[in-house]
């Protein structure tokens, strides 16, 4: 944890690089080790947001360390710069998950 799930209608050429870069960004924004950040990318999806122009939906989940009002801008800028998607076509969902609802290595965190 944290976990970032990216769904986009854009086709991403260098998926591995994008996943690594966004993992580093989320790690720095949450002050959690990059070692524990998991990232998932689903690109070239059929998506509709007012029209069929490229758009992106990101889900960010973590046990604490989320500050949506401070995180939304750098994440939106990252998506715009790396994926070419306008900021007004990006939705971000933040979810603070209780430690007892998140498991790793065979046990929950709380």
pTM of the model: 0.94
Please say if the pLDDT value at position 6 is more than 90. yes
DSSP annotation string for 52-65: SS--EEEEEEESS-
Give the end-to-end CA distance of the chain in Å, rounded to a whole number: 13
Please say if the pLDDT value at position 84 is more than 90. yes
Among 62, 79, 76, 2, residue whose Cα is nearest residue 34 = 2
Please say if the pLDDT value at position 1 is more than 90. no
What does the pLDDT look like over 14-48, one tens digit per residue? 999 999 999 999 999 999 999 999 999 999 999 99
Distance CA 11, CA 52 (A): 13
Please report the domains of the chain, with CATH numbers, ordered by start residue: 3-108 (3.30.429.10)
């Amino acid at each position: 944890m944290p976990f970032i799930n990216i769904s986009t209608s854009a086709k991403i050429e260098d998926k591995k690089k994008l996943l690594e870069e966004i993992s580093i960004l989320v790690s720095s924004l949450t002050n959690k080790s990059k070692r524990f950040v998991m990232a998932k990318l689903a690109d070239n999806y059929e998506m509709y947001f007012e029209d069929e122009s490229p758009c992106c939906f990101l889900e960010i989940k973590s046990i604490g360390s989320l500050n949506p009002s401070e995180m939304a801008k750098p994440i939106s800028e990252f998506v715009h710069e790396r994926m070419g998607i306008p900021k007004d076509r990006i939705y971000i969902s933040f979810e603070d998950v209780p430690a007892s609802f998140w498991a790793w290595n065979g046990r929950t965190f709380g």
